[in-house]
Structure 1
């Protein structure tokens, strides 16, 4: 049987050491890693709008018990291309099971919206993760995985380097799966009265297996298209109902906030809220457990909010839904560590790391009894461990994100953080192998007091505020939105005692201090400086809903890097000028070049000797409308390259 992928078996306590590695050690039974696609160059087929990228993987035999299956999607820029530009809807499909002559399934197990990668650097990479344990029944032996990439952008100079990795953790199942039934899997036109969606989302009948205790409805659904008058179904909020045996069991808005997207910033409209998806993110998987009565038929039906478009423009709902029938849970008292969010080096949690305090973990109740309390033991390996008693009320298979008290001890070298769960509901845990986890992490920075927080507002300061909290949660310094004036520089000197702190900036509109689409909002800047005006930290202006920065004040502060610089170009879409902002700890000879795009013909060049700080404005009105590159270089090193569009009018001017 032809196998394209390779399988790596690792034993407990062993880290997978490569750029693909997920920085978590799971203290559990054997872990099997399967790579159906490994560092595959993924590009579009502009003639078709869709292109398949297939690969085989060898999964465990059917008789081997499986506890959990995680799927990781690794993205990078190809060696010979730049990262691609557009937010296309991609699908990860279980194409075939049982080998090349096996059964064709074509079941969607995950969906990813590709990022706006126009300004990603060549060394950019990101990893998303999702739980696909619901398909453990058929992710067995030889399976073909199809990564379906959509879109029409050119395929000769841009694309993605994609790896699909499955992490299979063997062991006693949380509940034994019995069967999987496809409920819906299609693109359903939405808003067209001549082709109403309700004629397609018809009730589906599933017979209960005699062994079944409950069913899990697993759904991936996103809205797309730009019908008028509401830009449906991508930018309109509409509700969906789920009916089970003719009773309404769920009603929710299909909507997702994108301003806190883990992958930020991106080149396009990455922060616009959308119909259950965000650019550069895996689509959220919805899970709904349903009671099943033995020997009876069950009906499942989705119903969308009534909606009629006045102008049809591809408005649609993409839906894939499956019902998995299970035997009853295998344990009454069983709790698991799902993940460690803080501290962590995972790219998925990069907006909340590194951290100096308040670890964050996700726990999961996998016992049939509601989880009401559990003891959490946590801390940095080699340091004194802390204890916390969690109390709550988690039903079967429910999750909770727990913010733990205290500081995070760390060294300048690699660190390991460990968490253990004990005594759920004061009972012995009936499966202890997933009660403990470790994460790799880097120490949060240490600075000397006092510090200077430099904050220049944009044209919409009423959306912004910031505050500095200590480890107890007390506000030490702050600026509220009603205290800020437009286009004004605020320099606050922060006199701080030794300890851990969290500097939090928030934007209530979710469009940061800068967003290319909101020209009228202008651009703001934020920096953390030493008292002698040395740059310690540059905060991203294109930050959506905001950012946080954790640090410590101590007697042995980190050295300030003399090579640190802040370089920004704004606006990148203009009908007149664009401005370069430059700030450096060490003066240097700087070259700025304006190049044509395409072709990279030199159109304009500027030289600034011994430059340390300044703002420089460039007039594009003497050139024809089009695209340009503005590059900033020092010696042979290109520091920044940004595409600038000169156009007749810019959005929201």
Structure 2
């Protein structure tokens, strides 16, 4: 195998060929390149010196046909200026026209050297090339010859393009009723989804209709590790043959309760009952992913943000697990430090840092200077320093004492709570801790007005009037804030 046009001189490349055993949704009868994969300047494309119109015989044994087009632009104008490309069948009006352009500022591979944040014609450094898929079945007849032309509307300067146009011919669908789970986008450790992972809220999976009958409903079961108590969700929609959809799955405490540690957990999905019927092909009904849990932070922490010289481009917010904004800051001043002390209750949160110019808080090719964003404990211990060359935005999911506690992960606590679960009384033993404040809070962070007694290092709370549910004991000492989860039954 020879690689031409990139990667053959300097980059290390891993190429994996995946062979899927089983019956496909429909058989591939034939696959062919309409033109040799190559690059050409825009003038030779427009005057048909290259990629000239070609007469193509459509395979008579196929019933549907698709052209898959991969195009990348190069040269100063070709790389950084979007242009319209087209496929035309048998002359006349162009059946397919699309803009070859790819947004790069949300590249999951970051930070990088060079101008990685700049949008490009069909590609970004470290990302897959865009693929344009065109169903030409309505415009052709099996077993006949059709004239197929590829071209570009206009271009200029040094514009040149690498072009691949592949004709794929398919047989009849192999199943009338077949649903498939084809991907897990959240939670996962796949690099292409790194911008939105790890997560602590709703999983995101991709389903597809592999049957000729429209798919209108589907049961989705999902769980973490070996949890015997599966979550179940019923999807309703309308997918035609080979159409896919991303499905956001509801989450609960039960879903994440089975995590076994910070890393290498497994998320499992299984689908069944398409259209409330029997799936004709069950070997594509299960999917699993490896995932790591989000960072777990203390309930009280500091968000430290320093703006660069273009502060009007920046804003940041925190969203809770119900989609409610619990913190927001904009209208920032240039080259200014902002230190906000946050008090959050137990649960899942998302910090989003936005940059409207899509060049992060520092970038070598602008004049915006440098800023930073950091999370710190109340005693100025480091939680995380965010990369400043982040392009469009940072999406950082984190939890407060969930599904594991901060003490469990990062220090051995000197505080014990018992009994747990409890009903009438909760004892908090604080051996070796100089307690400055102690209280019980509900899940929304509201302090509960509860009487307690103290005997040396033992605090006893009268909880007989608390409603059943999850609560948190917060103990503030000289150097730390300790949080313990309790259940009232």
TM range (shorter): 0.7 to 0.9
Equivalent residue number for residue 216 of structure 2: 372
Unpaired runs of 5+ in structure 2? Answer: 412-489
The equivalent residue for 2:13 is 162
2:388 maps to what in 1? 541
Partner-residue secondary structure (3-state), 1:521: coil
Q: In structure 1, which of residues 387, 390, 402 is the aligned counterpart of residue 247 of structure 2?
A: 402
Matches of 1:195 and 1:525, distance apart in 2: 46
2: distance between equivalents of 1:163 and 1:235?
A: 27
Structure 2 residue corresponding to 1:262, chosen from 87, 91, 108: 108
Larger-gyration structure (1/2)? 2
**Match of 1:146?**
2
Match status 1:173 vs 2:21? no
Residue 450 (structure 1) aligned with residue 300 (structure 2): yes
> 1: distance between equivalents of 2:219 and 2:340?
41
What is the aligned partner in structure 1 of residue 36 from structure 2? 185
Tell me the distance in 1 between the aligned counterparts of 2:213 and 2:45: 46
**For the residues of structure 1 that align with 2:276 and 2:220, how far apart are their CA atoms?**
12
> Is the 2:33–2:166 contact (alpha carbons within 8 Å) kept by the matching residues of 1?
yes
Report the CA distance between 1:198 and its aligned residue.
3.9
Distance in 2 separating the partners of 1:469 and 1:197: 54
Cα displacement (A) at 1:186: 4.3
Q: What TM-score does the superposition give when structure 2 sets the normalisation length?
A: 0.76
Say whether residues 1:527 and 2:377 are aligned partners: no
Per the alignment, residue 297 of structure 1 pairs with 145
Q: Secondary structure at the match of 1:446?
A: strand
**TM-aligned CA deviation for residue 195 of structure 1:** 7.4
Inter-partner Cα distance in structure 2 for 1:548 and 1:181: 41
The residue aligned with 1:223 is: 73
**In the alignment, what sits opposite 2:276?**
426
Most deviating of 454-463 and 371-380: 371-380
Distance in 2 between the 1:186 and 1:168 partners?
23
- Say which of 332, 338, 345 aligns to 1:490: 338
Query: Where do residues 566-645 of structure 1 align in structure 2 (5 Å cutoff)?
Result: none
Q: 2 CA distance for matches of 1:348 and 1:376?
A: 24
Could you state the TM-score of these two structures normalised by the residue count of structure 1?
Answer: 0.58
Map of 1:319 onto structure 2: 163
Give 1:303 shift. Answer: 2.5
Distance of 1:389 and 1:205 partners within structure 2 = 48
Offset of 1:328 from its aligned partner?
A: 1.3
Cα deviation code 1:528-554 (max 9, x no counterpart): 111111110111100011111111112
Give the Cα separation in 1 of the matches to 2:58 and 2:45: 32
Aligned to 2:236: 391
1:235 aligned residue = 80
Change (3 A) 1:190 1:333: same
**Partner Cα distance (1:423, 1:204) in 2:** 46
Question: Quick check: 2:37–2:165 contact (8 Å CA) kept in 1?
Answer: no
Asked if 2 retains the 8 angstrom alpha-carbon contact of 1:198 and 1:304, the reply is: no
Partner of 1:19: none
The 2-side partners of 1:405 and 1:528 are apart by 29
In structure 2, C-alpha distance between the alignment counterparts of 1:467 and 1:375, rounded to whole Å: 35
Q: What is the match of residue 632 of structure 1?
A: none
Let me know the Cα RMSD of the aligned residues. 2.2
Shift of 1:353: 1.7
1:381 is matched with which residue: 222, 225, 240?
225
Check 1:460–1:234 CA distance in 2 against 1; reply closer, same or farther (3 A cut). Answer: same
Aligned-pair CA distance for 1:377: 1.5
Task: Report the secondary structure of 1:259's partner residue.
Answer: coil
CA distance in 2, matches of 1:452, 1:371: 48
Q: What's 1:249 paired with?
A: 95
3-state SS of the aligned residue for 1:332? Answer: coil
2:270–2:286 Cα contact (<8 Å) kept: yes
Q: CA deviation at 1:161?
A: 3.8
Answer yes or no: is the 8 Å Cα contact 1:190–1:197 preserved in 2. Answer: no
Q: Is this contact kept in 2: 1:449–1:497, CA < 8 A?
A: yes
Q: Matches of 2:393 and 2:141 in 1, distance apart?
A: 48
Change beyond 3 A, Cα 1:318–1:160 = closer
Cα–Cα, structure 1 residues 181 and 163, in superposed 2: closer, same or farther, change >3 Å?
closer
Higher relative contact order (CA 8 A, sep 6+): 2
* Equivalences for residues 477-516 of structure 1 within 5 A: 477-480=327-330, 483-516=331-364
Task: Indicate whether 1:466 and 2:316 are aligned.
Answer: yes
**Deviation of 1:428 (Å):** 1.9
| Shift, 1:277, TM fit | 0.5
How far the C-alpha of 1:347 sits from its partner, in A, is 2.4
Aligned to 1:343: 187
Mark the runs of 5 or more structure 1 residues left unpaired by the alignment. Answer: 1-144, 227-231, 562-653
Q: How far is 1:459 from its partner?
A: 1.4
Give the Cα separation in 1 of the matches to 2:223 and 2:323.
19
- Of 242, 250, 260, the match for 1:411: 260
Report deviation, 1:199: 4.3
**What per-residue deviation string (whole Å, max 9, x for no partner) do you get for residues 304-343 of structure 1?**
1223x3xx43x21111111111111111222212111211
Residues 325, 191 of structure 1: CA spacing in aligned structure 2 closer, same or farther, 3 A cutoff? closer
**Residue-pair matches, total:** 399
Is residue 207 of structure 2 the alignment partner of residue 363 of structure 1?
yes
Give the conservation status (yes or no) of the 8 Å contact 2:7–2:13. no
